[in-house]
């Protein structure tokens, strides 16, 4: 198993890509700290990870609250003695056109998608540097590369995550810590549940593979990047989009 005994934290792990990533890590032998704002979802994913044979612990966590992030990291270190992987998956959308977007919509997305990534990464960085090894994986998006109509706040946050990734890979790489980002395209998660069928059909048409991605297909990339098989990949932004940017 490629992640055998690696102690991993996954934020936003209550559903979608985060839940698939936590379960994939468990199946690959990792110890998994499942973090999400939804307590019931955390419990369900922890149970699924344990059923897969992994050690797993859950935290009801708001990544915008620094004291809560620090407490979670301290708890994981106390339990397991190290942190090998952080997956910064927590993210939200609050879409609106530029002229219509409220300050609250803008701030909410920046707080979770950008500040949350910064806070979780800063919280684990020192322990990873001390042990001379670690992996930080950041959830960007194809929107963070190419932009998207009605997503000023989301695009800014996901562009910012790429900036974090490039900067931290330079800062932490010499200390044995790799930092990479994954940029999913259209993935079939609950976020798409309210989108009309005709809009979903148009989305599929934009993808050369003519389908939406599955959360597990993104989780597979996270698992590879977290593993020693990706030991010379640092500062990369890997699209998982079915080729929609071609």
φ and ψ of 12, to 5 deg:
60, 35
Question: Is residue 154 among the annotated active site residues?
Answer: yes
> In a structure prediction context, what are the per-residue pLDDT tens digits for the chain, which is 246 residues long?
899 999 999 999 999 999 999 999 999 999 999 999 999 999 999 999 999 999 999 999 999 999 999 999 999 999 999 999 999 999 999 999 999 999 999 999 999 999 999 999 999 999 999 999 999 999 999 999 999 889 999 999 999 999 999 999 999 999 999 999 999 999 988 777 667 788 888 889 988 999 999 999 999 999 999 999 999 999 999 999 999 876
Which of 97, 72, 90 shows the shortest CA–CA distance to 19?
A: 90
Predicted local confidence at residue 194, as pLDDT: 66
CA distance 100 to 159: 21
Residue 52 is classified by DSSP as: T
Tokens describing residue 163? 């900036």
Where helices occur in 173-242 by DSSP H, the ranges are 197-205, 215-226
Tell me the whole-structure pTM to 2 decimals. Answer: 0.96
Among residues 80, 154, 222, 232, the one annotated as catalytic is: 154
User: What domains does the chain contain, in order, with CATH numbers?
Assistant: 7-188+214-238 (3.40.50.720)
Predicted local confidence at residue 10, as pLDDT: 98
CA distance 150 to 158: 14
Tokens describing residue 16? 């979608």
């Amino acid at each position: 198993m490629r992640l055998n005994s690696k102690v991993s934290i996954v934020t936003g792990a209550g559903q979608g890509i985060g839940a698939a990533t936590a379960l994939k890590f468990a199946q690959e032998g990792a110890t998994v700290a499942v973090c999400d704002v939804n307590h019931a979802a955390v419990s369900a994913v922890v149970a699924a990870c344990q059923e897969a044979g992994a050690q797993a612990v859950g935290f009801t966590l708001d990544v915008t609250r620094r004291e809560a992030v620090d407490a979670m990291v301290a708890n994981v270190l106390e339990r397991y003695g190290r942190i090998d992987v952080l997956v910064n998956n927590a993210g939200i959308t609050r879409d609106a056109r530029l002229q219509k977007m409220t300050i609250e919509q803008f701030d909410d997305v920046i707080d979770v998608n950008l500040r949350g990534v910064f806070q979780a990464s800063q919280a684990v960085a020192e322990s990873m540097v001390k042990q001379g090894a670690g992996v930080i994986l950041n959830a960007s998006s194809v929107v963070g590369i190419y932009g998207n109509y009605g997503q000023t706040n989301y695009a800014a946050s996901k562009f910012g995550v790429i900036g974090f990734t490039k900067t931290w890979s330079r800062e932490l790489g010499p200390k044995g810590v790799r930092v990479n980002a994954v940029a999913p395209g259209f993935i079939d998660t609950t976020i798409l549940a309210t989108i009309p069928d005709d809009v979903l059909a148009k989305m599929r048409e934009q993808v050369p593979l003519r389908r939406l991605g599955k959360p597990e297909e993104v989780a597979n990339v996270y698992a590879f990047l977290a593993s020693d098989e990706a030991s010379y990949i640092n500062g990369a932004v890997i699209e998982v989009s079915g080729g929609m940017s071609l």
